[in-house]
Chains A and B, each alone.
Chain A
Amino acid sequence: MKTKLWLLAGAAVAMALAHGCKPKGAQSALSGDAASKVYIAPGQHDEFYNIISGGFNGQMSVVGLPSGRVFKILPVFSVHPENGWGFSEESKPMLNTSHGFVPWDDLHHIAISTTNAEHDARWAFGNANNTPRIARVDLTTFKTVEIIEIPNSGGNHSSPFITENTEYVVAGTRFSVPTGDEANRDVPIDTYKENFRGTISFISVDKDHGDMEIAFQLEAPPFNFDLARAGKKKSHGWFFFSTYNTEMAHTLLEVNASQKDKDFIMAVNWKKAEEYIKQGKGKKVKAKYAHNKWSEDTHMATSVIKDEVLSLDPRELKDIIYFIPCPKSPHGTDTDPTGEYIVGSGKLAAIIPVFSFTKMLKAIENQDFEGSVDGMPVLRYESVLHGEVEKPGLGPLHTEFDGRGNAYTSFFVSSEVVKWNIETLQVLDRVPTYYSVGHLMIPGGPTGKPHGKYLVAYNKITKDRYLPTGPELAHSAQLYDISGDKMQLLLDFPTIGEPHYAEAFPASLIKDKQVKFYPLEKNNHPRVLKGINDARVEREGNKVHVYMTTIRSNFRPDNIEGIRVGDEVYFHVTNLEQDWDVPHGFAVKGANTAELLVMPGETSTLKWVPDRVGVFPFYCTDFCSALHQEMQGYIRVSPAGSNVPLKYSTGVAE
C-alpha cells in the first residue's frame, strides 16, 4: 500500500516536472571557461590550420582552430570572380575537361599529404564529385596547381584518400557506368549488371614535386563506392573502400539498394596490383581525360588531353580484391592510427562493426571464404570481425581517432558524436550536435599520429544556431574539447558552402614556409614585363595586346587610344611589387569576365571585347596604398574600322 502511494506521488511529481526536465539546449552544455579556450588574443595565431571542403561551392576554406575564423576561400573547381580564377587567360585551362570548360564542381573530401602516416602538409587534395577530377593544392601558396580528370567514372565520391607516404591518391566511382569504347557505352540502362563497371583509380603522386598521373584503374563490380581509407603502418599496402548497392540495382536505390543485410568493404591489395603491373599484366585501354597543371614559373596553366589508361581486371588478376561483409549500407570505412582496426559504419546498421587487419590476413591465408563476387572472394564476417559496438546510436557515418585508443563516430540520425574504446568496444561518452552531423574531424585524425585535443563536427542543419538569413542558413561547425574524459562543446562557427570532410594539422608545419611574393626575375610568363619601361600596346590584326605594369599606385600605360569596337583586347598585367601582401587588382568597365587579382611578381591576363564606342575606365580593386583611388586609367574605343592611331602613355600630358 505504502509503496503504491509513493509510486503515485513519484509519478505526480515527475509529471509536474516533466516540462522542466525537457533536455536543455546547447547553452547548458557550455561551461564557463569555454570562451577562453577558443579565444585567440589579437596578435596571436591559431594552433591548427583546418582545410575544409566547400561541398557544392567547389572551393576549400582555410580556417583557424580553435578560433573557427575563416582566413581564405580557395578556389579549386569553381570559377572565383574575387581573384579571376577560371576567368584569367592563364587559369582557364585549369578547369578544362574532356567535356570542355567546366566551371563548377562539388568538392567533398580533403586529404592532406602525409609521410610515414603523419601529416607533412605539403599539399591538400580535393575531389570533384560531379565531373570526376582530383585537384592538388600547394600549401606554400594556397593555390590549386594541378587537376586531373578521372575517366570511366561517375560521381567521384570515394576520393581523394591517400596512402601513408602519399604514394597514391584514389578515386573510387560512386556511380558505376559503362566503360570502354563508344559502342560499349551506348547500352540499355537495364543491362546494368552486365555492362556497368565500378572503376577505382589509383593516381600516383611524385614524392618530390607532387605531380599526379593515373597509374592504373581497377575494374571492380558495378557497386556504388562511397568512401575509402588506406591501410597504414601494419596494413600499409592495402586500401579499404566502402560499398553500397551491392544489390546492383539501377533504379529507386532508396528501396532497391537497401535490401541486403550486409554490403561490403572492399579490401584492395595495391602492392599486389603493382606486382601485376611490373609483370606487364595490365592492359592499355582508350579513355579520354584532361590533365591540367599550373606552373609557378610561367604563372599559367596548361591542359593536355590524354587518351589511354592502364586497366587491371581483378576477375583475372587474383589476390588484388577481397570483400569484407559489412552491415548495412556502409558509409565510412576508417582505419585506426595503428592500422590494425577497420571501422565500418553501416548507415542503416544498429551496431558498429570493427574489423581486424590481422584476422583478415589470416582469413585470406586460410581461404576462410563465404562466397565470391565475379571470382573475387568474400571473407567470412565472423572470421574478420574484431567485435561490434553495441547500441552506439542511430545512423553512424564517420569515425576519427584521438591516438589514445578512442574512436569518435558521428551519428546523422541521432545528431550526436559518440566516443568509444577501440579495444573494449565500450561506449564512453556522447555529446549532442546541432544538428545532423555528417563528417567529423580531429586534427591529424586520419593519420598515424592524431593530435587528440579538438574535434570538429560538420553539421548539415543549423536552424536556431545563428541569426536567420532567409530560407538558406549557414552550415555549422562545432568545436569540442576532447582532451578530457568527457567531450565539451566550446564553439559554434558557420562554414562556407556545404562542408563535407576536413583535415587539420599544426600551423607550425607550414606557416614559416609561405611564399610571400614571386621573384620578378624568375617570372617566365611569355608576356611578362620586368620594368615600367617595357609597358606598351601592340596590335596584331583585331587582337590588341596591352603590356601593363602595376606598382603602388599607378598603371602603365594609363591612357590608351586606338582600340576599335570588336577588337579582342588582352591586358597582360604584371605586378612589379616585390613585397608581401601587395596584390593589385585590375577591372575594366563592361568586361564579361571578372577582375584580375595579380600577386606581387605575377603576370595575369584579362580578355576584354569592347562592344561600344566610348572611353572606358579601368582601376585597381585591391586597396593597395594611400593613393589606391588614384590607381586608374582610360581606354578610348573608336568605331570598328576607324583609323584612330594606336596610342598609349603614362604621365606625360600634365
Chain B
Amino acid sequence: MKNISSVNRILIAICAALMISAYFTPLWQISLWAPQYPEGLNMKIWIDRLSGDVDIINGVNHYIGMKHIGVEMFPEFTYLIYIFGFIIGFGFLAAIIGKRWSLYAFFAMIALLGIGVLVDMYLWGYDYGHNLDPTAAIKVPGMAYQPPLVGYKELLNFLAYSGPDTGGWILAVAGSVMLYAVITEILKSKKEKVLA
C-alpha cells in the first residue's frame, strides 16, 4: 500500500498524543437539575473512576429504586485503560509506519471505540433506568428513568443532561481529525487510480 502524506503522519501522531488526555481528564458528564437543586448535581465519568456528586445522586435516586452508582458497577473501568493504551500505542506505530492501511486501521479503532462506548453507555443507562427495585418508595406507572445518551431529557422533577466532558471533546476532535485524514487519503487514492 501507498505511503500517506507527511501531514497526515503528523496528524496521526498528534491524535495519538491527544488521546493520552483521556487518562487525565473526565470523559463524560451527567448532570441533573431540580427545583431543590438549582446549582445542579454533576457526575463525571473518568477512564477508571467516577467523581462529583455521586453520593447525592444516589441519595436522591433511591426513592425510585435505582441502583447505587459506584465504581463496582462499571467493570469497564478495569480494562478501558488498556484498550486506550493499545490504541494510543498503535497510533504512534501507525505514524511511524506511514502506510494508508495503518491510518485506516487507527481510525477504525477510534471509531469502534467510540461506537462501543456509546453502545455500552446506552445499555448501562437502559438497565439503570428500567431495572428498578420493586420495593422502591415511589412508583410511577410506566415510568422509566433511562438517562439520555446525549443531550437533555426530563425525568420527573429532574432535567437530565448527558454529554462529553473535557476528555470526551478532545477525543472527538482526535476522531474528527483522523476522519479528515482518512478522507484526504481516500480522495488522493481515487485521483491516483484515475491517473493510473
Contact = CB atoms under 8 A, between A and B. Distances in A.
Nearest to A651: B135
Interface string A620-631: 000001110000
A626 B56 contact: no
Interface string B46-90: 000000010110010001000000000000000000000000000
B34 to A, nearest CB: 12
A551 B137 CA distance: 15
Nearest to A551: B59
B33 to A, nearest CB: 15
Contact of A626 (B53, B55, B59, B137): B137
B138 interface: yes
A626 B156 CA distance: 14
B40 to A, nearest CB: 12
Contacts of A578: 55-56
B137 A579 contact: no
A380 interface: no
Nearest to A520: B55
Contacts of B53: 579
Nearest to A626: B63
A579 B56 contact: yes
A577 interface: yes
Nearest to B36: A581
A627 B63 contact: yes
A578 B57 CA distance: 11
Contacts of B56: 578-579
A579 B59 contact: yes
B137 A552 contact: no
Interface in A556-590: 577-579
B59 A627 contact: no
Interface residues of B, number: 7
A552 B59 contact: yes
A579 B56 CA distance: 6
Contacts, number: 15
Contacts of A626: 63, 137-138
A626 B137 CA distance: 9
Contacts of B55: 578-579
B68 to A, nearest CB: 12
B59 A577 contact: yes
Interface residues on chain A, size class: under 10
Contacts of A579: 53, 55-56, 59
Contacts of A577: 59
A389 to B, nearest CB: 51
Contacts of B59: 551-552, 577, 579
Interface in B125-148: 137-138
A619 to B, nearest CB: 17
Contacts of B137: 626-627
A552 B137 CA distance: 12
Nearest to A43: B38
Contacts of A625: 63
B8 to A, nearest CB: 49
Interface string A530-571: 000000000000000000000110000000000000000000
B80 to A, nearest CB: 27
A578 B60 CA distance: 12
A230 B138 CA distance: 61
A552 B56 CA distance: 10
A579 B52 CA distance: 12
Contacts of A552: 59
Contacts of B138: 626
A440 B59 CA distance: 47
A163 B138 CA distance: 58
Contacts of A627: 63, 137
B63 to A, nearest CB: 6
A191 to B, nearest CB: 65
A577 B63 CA distance: 15
B10 to A, nearest CB: 45
A626 B53 CA distance: 20
Interface string A578-610: 110000000000000000000000000000000
A336 to B, nearest CB: 42
A627 B59 CA distance: 12
A579 B37 CA distance: 10
B138 to A, nearest CB: 7
A626 B55 CA distance: 18
A464 B96 CA distance: 90
Nearest to A578: B55
Nearest to B63: A626
Most-contacted residue by chain A among B53, B55, B59, B137 (CB, 10 A): B59
Nearest to B37: A579
A551 B55 CA distance: 11
Interface string A373-397: 0000000000000000000000000
B54 to A, nearest CB: 10
A577 B62 CA distance: 13
A625 B138 CA distance: 12
A519 to B, nearest CB: 11
A627 B138 CA distance: 10
Interface in A201-256: none
Nearest to A625: B63
Contacts of B63: 625-627
A275 B53 CA distance: 54
A577 B53 CA distance: 12
A444 B137 CA distance: 51
A500 to B, nearest CB: 37
Nearest to B41: A579
Contacts of A551: 59
B133 to A, nearest CB: 13
A626 B36 CA distance: 12
A625 B55 CA distance: 16
Interface string B137-171: 11000000000000000000000000000000000
Nearest to B53: A579
B134 to A, nearest CB: 14
Given A552-B59, A626-B138, A627-B63, 12 more contacts: A551-B59, A577-B59, A578-B55, A578-B56, A579-B53, A579-B55, A579-B56, A579-B59, A625-B63, A626-B63, A626-B137, A627-B137
Interface of B: 53, 55-56, 59, 63, 137-138
When A and B form their complex, which 6 residue pairs have the shortest distance between CB atoms, in order from nearest?
A579-B56, A578-B55, A627-B137, A552-B59, A626-B63, A579-B59
15 contacts: A551-B59, A552-B59, A577-B59, A578-B55, A578-B56, A579-B53, A579-B55, A579-B56, A579-B59, A625-B63, A626-B63, A626-B137, A626-B138, A627-B63, A627-B137
